[in-house]
Amino acid sequence: MRHTLLILSHLLRYPSEAMQQAAPELVAALELDGVLESGQIEEVKPLVQALIDDELLDLQEGYSSLFDRGRALSLHLFEHVHGESRDRGQAMVDLRDRYEARGLEIAANELPDYLPLFLEYLSVLPTEQALEELSQPGVVIAALAQRLAEKGTPWAAPMQVLSGLAGASADELAIVPPDDPDDLAALDKAWAEEQVRFDAPAAPDAACPQAAAMVARFGSLNLSRSEVHG
């Protein structure tokens, strides 16, 4: 599970030269980790192929036009729940504390509620606990997956895979058109009373050595691991 979560985390990050270099091995690493079904891996292949074939500047421009221009597709989870309220700040402090309790520190200049960072945190947890914590923002992930799919972008695939792992569906709530600046009002209302839990589990799962080697080759984590507590 941990390598699958790490790969999905990197696929949802701003494209980099390191990711392009690692892209040819990502599908094999997903297959070796044995978490996803063959159909799910097939869904991810177009994005992996785009990382291999497309110019880096084009990939970066496409990514920014999706995720960095408005709230509807923001990868910051708490923005969809708390907006810019003080509650969001406290929620991020609490989440950062959870990272640190697992011996993890945010090395990059990123906020704790950034989805790729959250996935890296989940990757150090046992499978059952990781899936439980992933399910907490599942309604947000499902809504993002649906909106990305409607745009016909290959970045929809990793989000759809995450939605499946979280056991969530956008059918659970009515969302208005994704280009409406207030389109997350229904989402906020549906999730406002949900308690997001980040319970610390026991110990991380055993890893597949081959998948681990592949993951290691495509760069270091943005969460530095000073110690993983059992």
pLDDT along the chain (230 residues), means of 10: 94 95 94 94 97 97 91 84 58 81 76 90 93 91 92 96 85 45 48 42 47 47 41
Query: Model pTM?
Result: 0.76
Partners of 224 in the β-ladder: 105
Distance separating alpha carbons of residues 53 and 51, to the nearest angstrom: 6
**Residue whose structure tokens are 């959250």:** 118
Distance separating alpha carbons of residues 225 and 124, to the nearest angstrom: 10
The candidate with the shortest Cα–Cα distance to 164, out of 6, 3, 8, 2, is: 8
What is the predicted pLDDT for the residue at 113? 85
